[in-house]
Structure 1
Amino acid sequence: MPVLVGLPEERPGWKAADAARVVAALAALGSARLRLRVEPRLTGHASALEGLRDAATRVGRAARCPLVIVGGVDSYHDVQTLAWLRERNQWLEEGARTGFAPGEAAAFVAVMAAPDARRWRLAPHATVRAAATARETKLIHTDDLNLGEGLTAAVGEALVPLEDTREVVACVHSDLNGERYRSEEWGFVALRLGAAFRDASVIHTPVSSCGEVGAATGALNLVLCAQSWRRRYASGSRALLWGSSEAGLRAAALLEEPLSGSEGGVKPWPR
């Protein structure tokens, strides 16, 4: 069974050897009956949503995988990493104008095609309408001015299913963490694509409760989004998730509450 795991981009305190150890530990969780084929993606914040796009393609093929696990793991709790964050003014501490509280997390979700889920009598917690990736060339910690072109491309592709409809996105889950670069990037996206959202300025982010969790952010947002529908505190039935990696990868996904607006007993949200 494929396990697509998002891991940090290389940085002080995290090298390729560390990624190899995580992959080996995850693979060891399998058994003779269930072999786990762990495929790492060392692309940081956008890695889990990149994995979601790949997983949606795999389970949708004629000769498809019936089940793909997608997730992310990260921790900034390393002496070298913390020193590096402080040097780059990314650690939110007294006197800092921007930055984040370093955290750690791991999150995973199972991705299946709808017919397989029904055959196995599994109730989905979210439906993937679309997922997309793009590249940004104006990177953080450079003198280049980022106008959000890469993220706009990824989000725009993810929103294609809503074209020529009256549907809008009610919820946005992101990796905003207090850094000005990320906030400004989303601001440009909202200016270009704001009509697709009920309110593009309302953003949900795990940073406020979990701290900055890096490569685990996308997978954690998938879980939090699904739980917001399951527990009925979401503001609507459609959600956009996005993530921006420091090396330039941008990823976005459009999710929908399962059976929203149908006769399956789920109360429809207002559009």
Structure 2
Amino acid sequence: MNASVKTSAWTHSGPDDICVVGLGARTAVGASAPASAAAVRGGVSGVSLHKQFKDEDGEPVTFAADPVIDPDAPIAQRMAEMLRAAGEEALGDAAADSSACPDCCVLALPEPRAGLPSEIGSLLAAEQARHLGLSPDSVRTIARGHAGGLMAMQAAARWLARGDVQSVLVLGVDSYRDAGTLRSLEIRRRLKCSHVRGGFTPGEAAGAVLLTRRSVAERADLVIFSRIRAVATAVEPHPLRATEPCVGEGLTAAIAAATANLRLPAEEIALTYCDLNGERFRNEEFMFAQLRTQEAFIDANDYVSPADCWGDVGAASGPLYVALAAATRLRGYARGDHAMLWTGSDAGYRAALTLKLG
């Protein structure tokens, strides 16, 4: 294992837990967090052939599209609409109590790519500031793709633990619904289509998580869905398109840091949610990390990769996985008290978060 892998972590150590008190989701299989979680639990798929987009063989591309938004809406409008819906759901009861209303928002966005407007970050941040009634400098963006949502939660947990803020709304949104984006993926043989079997099915979604300290949640009489035990980010030294093979060093470091404070075996991870999407390099990376960190898990092979249901949802992944994990306890099918969430970005960021359910 490469000891020089750059890693940063936040671990709960004080008397006041960092709690998840609000959840929101907008996906191809549900217009809310409960609906999306139930669909994933039941194996419902929102993937279908998208007649508007075709591959180079003239065959329709598979896509997991939001069923509510106008099919002709541009990508910026789609992302803004999904964000508003997820954010409003996550605020829920907290919107009625000023002590629990967010005084800061962190917005996880896709990495720069073909077909994505260069100004998308500033546009969505300004929209969120207006919608939430926050000053523009209270809305921060993290354009780190898949890992961005969990990275945003790491930043939020640190701010809350220090007492810098009272409540933070973490949002993640992504959409691949653009002809330029899909063509770029096809050229690089990453788009699942008639002539690429090892690609992924693109999707679009938004997820939202409202975080606050336990003392604030109890004063506002808010339901605590889960608590953050630890969250870590590492940088993979050999990411996608690197000249040397990836052997999971970054993902191993992130998972190891996020599970380092667990009292094993009493606090073993019962279930994992991750962004495996059918691409071979992700599966191989996970295999290496799994072998090195399996002692922290009841069964390291017991994981859920919901891309089968709602497609690859990129930067929305982290907040959506929190909603899925919380649903296991709310609906009574949790197999333990702790869940692991992990994600990996194309540029090399790997993020992992340990949740205590309930």
TM-score by length of 1: 0.90
What residue in structure 1 maps to residue 123 of structure 2? 21
- State the Cα deviation string for residues 187-243 of structure 1 (Å, max 9, x = none): 111100111111111221220111011111111111111122211223222100011
Trace 1:27-42 onto structure 2 (pairs within 5 A): 27-31=129-133, 34-35=134-135, 37-42=138-143
Any conservation in 2 of the 1:205–1:221 contact (CA below 8 Å)? no
How far is 1:163 from its partner? Answer: 4.4
Any conservation in 1 of the 2:325–2:357 contact (CA below 8 Å)? no
What residue in structure 2 maps to residue 147 of structure 1? 247
Any conservation in 2 of the 1:174–1:203 contact (CA below 8 Å)? yes
- State the Cα deviation string for residues 16-66 of structure 1 (Å, max 9, x = none): 3122211121112023xx5462101000000010011111111111x3311
Question: Aligned equivalents of 1:230 and 1:88: distance in 2?
Answer: 41
Question: Aligned equivalents of 2:343 and 2:295: distance in 1?
Answer: 20
Q: Which protein has the bigger strand share?
A: 2
Question: Aligned equivalents of 1:176 and 1:68: distance in 2?
Answer: 28
Aligned equivalent of 2:161, options 46, 53, 60: 60
Correspondence 1:131 to 2:236: no
Letter in 1 for 2:243: D
How far is 1:123 from its partner? Answer: 1.2
Listed as ranges, the gaps of 5+ residues in structure 1 are 259-271
What residue in structure 2 maps to residue 109 of structure 1? 209
Residue 92 to residue 132, structure 1, CA distance change in 2 (3 Å): same
Any conservation in 2 of the 1:71–1:219 contact (CA below 8 Å)? yes
Letter in 1 for 2:142: R
Listed as ranges, the gaps of 5+ residues in structure 2 are 1-102
Residue 183 to residue 158, structure 1, CA distance change in 2 (3 Å): same
Letter in 1 for 2:150: L
TM-score by length of 2: 0.69
What residue in structure 2 maps to residue 220 of structure 1? 320
Trace 1:60-99 onto structure 2 (pairs within 5 A): 60-61=161-162, 63-99=163-199
What residue in structure 2 maps to residue 261 of structure 1? none
Trace 1:166-177 onto structure 2 (pairs within 5 A): 166-177=266-277
Question: Aligned equivalents of 1:49 and 1:198: distance in 2?
Answer: 23
Question: Aligned equivalents of 1:231 and 1:164: distance in 2?
Answer: 26
Larger mean CA deviation between 164-173 and 244-253 belongs to: 164-173
What residue in structure 2 maps to residue 47 of structure 1? 148
What residue in structure 2 maps to residue 179 of structure 1? 279
Equivalent residue pairs, number:
255
Larger mean CA deviation between 204-213 and 156-165 belongs to: 156-165
Letter in 2 for 1:235: R
Any conservation in 2 of the 1:206–1:217 contact (CA below 8 Å)? no
Question: Aligned equivalents of 2:226 and 2:264: distance in 1?
Answer: 23
What residue in structure 1 maps to residue 61 of structure 2? none
Q: Say which SS state the counterpart of residue 218 (structure 1) adopts.
A: helix
What residue in structure 1 maps to residue 14 of structure 2? none
Question: Aligned equivalents of 2:319 and 2:289: distance in 1?
Answer: 22
Question: Aligned equivalents of 1:153 and 1:186: distance in 2?
Answer: 12
Letter in 2 for 1:88: R
Question: Aligned equivalents of 2:242 and 2:232: distance in 1?
Answer: 25
